[in-house]
């Protein structure tokens, strides 16, 4: 790869050159991770020998803590080695849809959206709001965000599915327990190297006024774009920009991502896209119970955690690892 990137003829084909340099960057990053682990293990081994010679329990404890951190890092690195899908290294779009239940479900959708915002913040991913339909009283009916960063899709693709919440409703004056559902969909951002053909005759394009924050402009112009892909029924929306042309371009990119993800799922012989009518019992992948007890449980891997507040604050790494491990068959 280094020989190819150093070739004087590299830029004769700019498309191929970009592919080579992108691959080289990815390989350099993977090599850097391996060398980091190797160096830290070697340093810890030498320090441990020194601690044993000097009978330094404090130093030995510090080394033990470092080795545990290294072990956690290796578990993550091990799972990333299974990110062999075509788009696993890409950024992703993540959308949340409230299930039936009005304000209660819409508030739950907002809570889920915040959870992914916080997870992205913890892992230094950037987040951009693409589209949002706000609930009448609280929460959101639907929202789409773009999470940009290496391997965002690889980590989050297992989050696609229905998420169930059980709690005492803050919107119920009688303080009764309610069950709410929301669906999450994760789709890879496709780059120029992935060719997705879309026929104009298969599209229905609508414009509408953007909702939510954005000043007077969003209330006066129909800058938001909705594209419906008629053969598949896929609908994407974008209102992130003041320019209708820019929103149209972004929405088209989102549509290509959805179609690409659909093709990936077909190849894996899975259900392509879940219907919004199925956001309910029997289709959930994870349950978040706040009353009568505290528990978050992934229904695919069986992994569970009692600290619901921490999970909803973005601490979902253990669930991501457990679902990926269950899929690839690692302990």
The 3-state DSSP class for residue 281 equals coil
Q: What average pLDDT does range 255-283 have in this prediction?
A: 67
Q: Is the pLDDT of residue 331 over 80?
A: no
| Phi, psi torsion values for 15, nearest 5 degrees | -65, -45
Residue 105 falls inside a structural domain: yes
Which of residues 14, 45, 80 is at a domain's end?
80
The answer, yes or no, to whether residue 293 has pLDDT greater than 70, is: yes
Residue indicated by tokens 């994870």: 286
Cβ partners under 8 Å of residue 45, min gap 6: none
Do 162 and 290 reside in the same domain of the chain?
yes
Structural tokens at position 146? 């773009």
Average pLDDT over residues 292-313: 94
User: By percentage, how much of the chain surpasses pLDDT 70?
Assistant: 84
Q: What is the pLDDT of residue 294?
A: 95
CA atoms within 13 A of residue 66's CA, in its CB half-sphere: 17
Q: Are residues 152 and 251 in the same domain?
A: no
DSSP assigned state of 270: S
Task: Decide if 86 is inside a domain.
Answer: no
Please give the DSSP secondary-structure letter assigned to residue 10: G
195 falls within a domain: no
For residues 125 and 175, state if they share a domain: yes
Shared domain check, 257 and 283 = no
Kindly state the helix (H) or strand (E) to which residue 103 belongs, with its residue range: helix 103-122
Domain that holds residue 178: 92-190+278-328
**Residues 6+ positions from 244 with CB-CB distance below 8 Å:** 207, 221, 222, 223, 224, 225
User: Is residue 176 domain-shared with residue 98, that is, in the same domain?
Assistant: yes
Q: What is the CA radius of gyration of the chain?
A: 23
Burial class (CB in 10 A: 0-12, 13-18, 19+), 221: middle
| Statement to judge: residues 228 and 98 lie in one domain | no
- The whole-angstrom separation of Cα 182 and Cα 159 is 12
pLDDT value of residue 130: 92
Q: Is the distance from CB of 187 to CB of 258 less than 8 angstroms?
A: yes
- CATH number of the domain enclosing 310: 3.30.70.1660
DSSP 68-136: HHHHHHHHHHHHHTT--STTTTS-EEEEEEE-SSTHHHHHHHHHHHHHHHHHHHHTT-EEEEEEEEE-S
Report yes or no on 273 lying in a domain. Answer: no
Residue with tokens 């919004």: 276
| 287 and 168, same domain (yes or no) | yes
Domain boundary (80, 111, 139) is at 80
- pLDDT tens-digit map of 113-124: 999 999 999 999
Q: What is the pLDDT of residues 62-113, one digit of tens each?
A: 888 888 888 877 777 777 777 777 788 899 999 999 998 889 999 999 999 9
Flag whether 20 is in a domain. Answer: yes
**Phi, psi (rounded to 5 degrees) for 275:** -70, 145
Domain count along the chain: 3
Q: Do 183 and 285 have their domain in common? A: yes
Which residues lie below 8 Å from residue 196, measured CB to CB, with a gap of 6+? 190, 256, 259, 260
Task: Give the sheet arrangement for strand 295-298, strand by strand.
Answer: 126-134, 140-148, 92-98, 177-188, 161-168, 284-289, 295-298, 304-305
Please indicate, yes or no, if residue 272 is contained in any of the structural domains: no
Distance CA 317, CA 305 (A): 11
Residues 6+ apart with CB under 8 A from 28: none
The answer to whether residue 97 sits within a structural domain is yes
Buried b or exposed e, range 252-277, using 16+ CB within 10 angstroms: bbbbbbbbbbbebeeeeeeeeebeee
Q: Is the pLDDT of residue 18 over 90?
A: no
Strands 284-289 and 161-168, bridge-based pairing: parallel
pLDDT at 202: 92
CA distance 99 to 181: 5
| Domain shared by 123 and 177, yes or no | yes
Residue 156: inside a domain: yes
State the pLDDT confidence band at 177, using cuts at 50, 70 and 90: confident
Domain boundary, last residue among 52, 80, 108: 80
- The answer to whether the beta carbons of residues 280 and 161 sit under 8 Å apart is no
Same domain, 47 and 102: no
Same domain for 98 and 43? no
Residue 57 pLDDT class (50, 70, 90 cuts): confident
**pTM of the predicted model as reported, rounded to 2 decimal places:** 0.74
Q: Do both 237 and 170 map to the same domain? A: no
């Amino acid at each position: 790869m280094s020989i190819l990137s150093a070739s004087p003829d590299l830029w004769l084909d700019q498309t191929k050159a970009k592919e080579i340099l992108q691959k080289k960057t990815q390989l350099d990053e993977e090599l850097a991770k391996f060398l980091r682990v190797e160096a830290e293990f070697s340093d810890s081994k030498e320090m441990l020998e020194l601690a044993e010679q000097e009978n330094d329990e404090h130093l030995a404890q510090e080394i033990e803590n470092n080795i545990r951190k290294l072990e956690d890092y290796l578990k993550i690195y091990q799972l990333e080695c299974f990110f062999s899908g075509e788009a696993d290294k890409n950024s992703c779009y993540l959308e949340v849809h409230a299930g039936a239940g009005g304000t209660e479900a819409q508030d739950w959708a907002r809570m889920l959206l915040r959870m992914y915002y916080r997870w992205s913040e913890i892992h230094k991913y950037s987040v951009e709001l693409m589209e949002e339909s706000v609930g009448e009283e609280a929460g959101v009916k639907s929202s789409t965000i773009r999470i940009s960063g290496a391997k965002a899709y690889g980590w989050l693709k297992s989050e696609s599915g229905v998420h169930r919440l059980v709690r005492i409703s803050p919107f119920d004056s009688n303080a009764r327990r309610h069950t709410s559902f929301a669906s999450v969909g994760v789709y890879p951002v496709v780059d120029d190297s992935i060719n997705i053909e879309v026929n104009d005759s298969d599209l229905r394009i609508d414009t509408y006024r953007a909702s939510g924050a954005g000043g007077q402009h969003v209330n006066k112009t129909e800058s938001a774009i909705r594209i419906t892909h008629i053969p598949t029924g896929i609908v994407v929306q974008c209102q992130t920009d003041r320019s209708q042309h820019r929103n149209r371009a972004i929405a088209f990119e989102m549509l290509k991502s959805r179609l690409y993800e659909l093709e990936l799922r077909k190849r894996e012989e899975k259900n392509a896209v879940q219907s919004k009518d199925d956001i309910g019992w029997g289709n959930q992948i994870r349950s978040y119970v706040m009353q009568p007890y505290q528990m978050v449980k992934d229904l695919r891997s069986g992994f569970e955690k009692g600290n619901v507040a921490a999970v909803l604050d973005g601490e979902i790494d253990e669930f991501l690892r457990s679902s990926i491990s269950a899929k690839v068959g690692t302990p």
